[in-house]
Structure 1
Amino acid sequence: MPATDFQGSSSSHSHPSPFSSFGRSLLSLRRDTPASAAASPVMPFGDEADLEAFQLHVAAHLAELRGGEGGEEFLSIAWIRRLLEAFLLCQEELRVVVAHARRRGALPAPAEKLVSELGERALKALDVCNAARDGLDQVRRWERLAGIAASVLLAPGEIHEGQLRRARKALSDLSVLLIDDAAAAAGGGGGVASFLASHRNRSFGRARASPSRAASLASSSSSSSHFRSLSWSVSRTWSAARQLQAIGAGLAVPRTHEASGLAAPVYSMGCLLHLAAWALVTAVPCPDRGSALQAHHLPTAPPRAAFPWAPPLLALQERLTEEGKRKDRRNSCGLLKEIHALEKCAQRLAEAIDAATVPLTGEREAEVREAAAELAAVCAAMKDGLEPLDRQVREVFHRIVRSRMEGLDSPMLNGD
């Protein structure tokens, strides 16, 4: 990821934080405790009460994501942003707890080791951030091609043969890119041959490709090659599934005697990190994304009764697994709601164009314009959402790096 100045979540974009209504610190949570608890002596920052409040905070974030309280649809751009915002807020609160405990010299060696292990686990998510940003770049290419096809057909005046040809060309280029990216994500071959082999399952044409359509796709394969992402910021052998396994490896449920210490909050943060990474690599194009849709990479499931955040976390994991198994999503380039909408609307427009003959009748022209308008609306929504999401992924990357550097500056870790 290119080096950039880190910006906090409040300054990275002009829109209010998706969790602004719930982004309270541990101090504000303490102010809301019952009178009986408030009457007891105020304990130092980082004590058992703070750690318990942190876990309740994680549970509240995950419950909101599970219930879609912000009005976002599951796996939409807005929902992914809320998930990343939850990760950033929880990471910051745990960082504050640890920093205050270090200043007081109240963080023993076993606790420092837990924090260091969480930092090492988080470092493995840096590649996920890079791969996700590459995937978002590919989605931008799709949006631009789809936008060209839609805008050409929504121009004032009658629709002429030249407009249909230009829109058809843009959709053919888009189809080739989608098929190639889907094949790469699944670990298989791509290109027009892959398109023809899988045409019955997913395409922008009819159940069978006509000779003229196949020829159009063949010619567009070479002309659209300059749109392709020929190099990822991760290595060619990088696998999203293997990286998720690495992030979840060793993430074990704390033992009973550790439940009252830092082990439980660190464990909850590790589970939240894994969920955020899993959602990212399944939502957008990533190498070996198809394998990442399987649930075999999940860490040991937390007992539902042991942690307040376990029920909503497990419910979100189950829903992600179910989305990956849906017949209409298995061959998609990503589970992101906007990607699915782009594919469907582009297919409908391609079919309307294929059925059209010049000069267009009033009914055919209305059908083409309606399909173009639907695709244009999807492109507009995608264009508005991709840039903020890209900035947020960048922010997650830099927050992880900064937290790790702070951990390495700890006197206990550097031997000072």
Structure 2
Amino acid sequence: MPATDYQGSSRSILSIRRDQIHSAESANDGAELESFKKHVLDRFHDLSVADHKELLSLPWITKLLDAFLCCQEEFRMLMFNNKEITTKPPMDRIISDFFERSVKALDVCNAIRDGIEQIRQWQKLLEIVLCALDNQRSLGEGQFRRAKKALTDLAIGMLDEKESNAAAAAAAAAHRNRSFGRNNTPKEDSNNKSLGHFRSLSWSVSRSWSAVRQIQALGSNLAAPRTNEISATNGLAVAVYTMNCVLLFVMWVLVAAIPCQDRGLQVHLNIPRQFIWASPIVSLHERIVEESKRRDRRNTCGLLREIEKIEVCVRQMNELTEIGNRFPLTEEKEGEVRRRVDELDEIVKAVKNGLDPLERQVRQVFHRIVRSRTEGLS
């Protein structure tokens, strides 16, 4: 064979081999992307089949954050395995936009951790009620007064922020009237301070910060990638859009469920139905919005299922602990109080067991977002 023929044949063989390798890599990239989208679908489908009692509970929220962490890690690996594409237009702009959005989620995580601490304060007041009324001996007026005081502080703490200051002032004035003429000024000052305790915690975000505005900023200008962007990025633009939607939805759920500064649900999730993972996320969004519209949930400080149980329990216990009760209590009345105390004990245990895992997950989400952004920028 002439040298020129050999060289031409050699080039032809090398060209075919490169095409085969490129084709195999493209197929692998496509399989990896499809796997990522399928895993997002599976995880949010598992969350969407939760019944009414499980939805928005502490275990469910923890499971939601676990799903986010799994999606985030798989997304990180997908970007790492295709880093040569992420540095080229238009992918560099798309991924940069994602990192900027993710930074906004860090403030939400801080605000949620403040909200978790707030729920812990409520838990402590509930434990005071339990301590006062969970007595094997007969229940007396002093025990009822102690429980009533803790329930009053709890009711004030659970009011919406706009109502809380007025209620605290009214309660403080009532306390001063009851204490008029008594030599207990230091104790009075201490009680007045405790009424405003829930709004004087050391917040991780500024007092002008707004959870609802932050969520709206997260969703601002979030649009599905165009056809030319999808083709130019080998489909990776779809993965980034998927993760943007997951991030927005998870942060929105946290704000909806947990007490935080200027919380609200005013965000629209306009996810095109052609994405395989869209259906369970849209379904969950609709269910949570419907939950917020329930008459007894409209002015709540959070949609967390355990908060609803606490609110119901506080109303019931307030009725039972009215100081107008005659002592000693009748056997029937005392039996009812003890039944309510048992129910309260179950709520306290559920809150106590659920808050620590949730806080750990929120902290992990925070650090994972920071790490992912740092890696991406470098």
TM-score, normalised on structure 2?
Answer: 0.83
Residue identity in the other structure for 1:271: C
Residue identity in the other structure for 2:128: I
Residue identity in the other structure for 2:369: I
Distance 1:188 1:83 in 2: 31
Structure 2 residue 66 is matched with structure 1 residue 97 = no
Report the more deviating stretch, 158-167 or 378-387: 158-167
Cα deviation, residue 225, structure 1: 3.5
Matched residue, 1:314: 282
Matched residue, 2:359: 390
**Counterpart contact for 1:191–1:221, Cα < 8 Å:** no
Cα deviation, residue 191, structure 1: 3.2
Structure 1 residues 233 and 61, CA gap change in structure 2 (3 angstroms): same
Q: 1:147 aligns with which of 106, 121, 127?
A: 127
Structure 2 residue 114 is matched with structure 1 residue 134 = yes
Matched residue, 1:160: 140
Distance 1:146 1:372 in 2: 10
Distance 1:315 1:194 in 2: 42
Structure 2 residue 201 is matched with structure 1 residue 227 = no
Matched residue, 1:59: 41
Q: 2:61 aligns with which of 62, 77, 80?
A: 80
Distance 2:310 2:164 in 1: 23
**Counterpart contact for 2:53–2:305, Cα < 8 Å:** no
Structure 2 residue 215 is matched with structure 1 residue 244 = yes
Matched residue, 2:17: none
Map 1:163-178 → 2, pairs under 5 A:
163-178=143-158
Distance 1:329 1:369 in 2: 27
Q: 2:342 aligns with which of 357, 366, 373?
A: 373
* Deviation digits for residues 292-335 of structure 1 (CA, Å, limit 9, x no counterpart): 223xx225x1221x100111111111112111111111121110
Cα deviation, residue 46, structure 1: 6.8
Map 1:343-354 → 2, pairs under 5 A:
343-354=311-322
* Deviation digits for residues 186-233 of structure 1 (CA, Å, limit 9, x no counterpart): x5662327889xxxxxxxxxxxxxx99x969xx796152463241421
Matched residue, 2:14: none
Cα deviation, residue 165, structure 1: 1.4
Residue identity in the other structure for 2:224: V
**Counterpart contact for 2:90–2:229, Cα < 8 Å:** no
Matched residue, 1:68: 50
Matched residue, 1:333: 301
Residue identity in the other structure for 1:190: N
Matched residue, 2:260: 286
Structure 1 residues 383 and 193, CA gap change in structure 2 (3 angstroms): closer
Distance 1:194 1:50 in 2: 59
Q: 2:92 aligns with which of 94, 98, 112?
A: 112
* Deviation digits for residues 241-264 of structure 1 (CA, Å, limit 9, x no counterpart): 110111011210111333451111
Distance 1:79 1:284 in 2: 13
- Identity percentage of aligned residues: 46
Cα deviation, residue 72, structure 1: 6.9
Structure 2: tracts of 5 or more residues without a match: 1-22, 180-187
Higher helix content, 1 or 2? 2
RMSD of aligned Cα (Å) = 2.5
Larger Rg: 2
Distance 1:226 1:241 in 2: 23
**Counterpart contact for 1:45–1:101, Cα < 8 Å:** no
Partner secondary structure for residue 138 of structure 1? helix
Distance 1:167 1:138 in 2: 19
**Counterpart contact for 2:64–2:250, Cα < 8 Å:** yes
* Deviation digits for residues 117-173 of structure 1 (CA, Å, limit 9, x no counterpart): 111111100000000000110000001101210232112211122211111111111
**Counterpart contact for 1:55–1:309, Cα < 8 Å:** yes
Cα deviation, residue 356, structure 1: 3.0
Residue identity in the other structure for 1:287: Q
Distance 1:335 1:154 in 2: 28
Distance 2:285 2:178 in 1: 43
Report the more deviating stretch, 279-288 or 224-233: 224-233
Matched residue, 2:377: 408
**Counterpart contact for 2:85–2:91, Cα < 8 Å:** no
Report the more deviating stretch, 111-120 or 397-406: 111-120
Matched residue, 1:208: none
Matched residue, 1:19: none
Matched residue, 2:167: 192
* Deviation digits for residues 339-385 of structure 1 (CA, Å, limit 9, x no counterpart): 11011112111111116321111001111111111111101110110
Report the more deviating stretch, 382-391 or 113-122: 113-122
Partner secondary structure for residue 204 of structure 2? coil
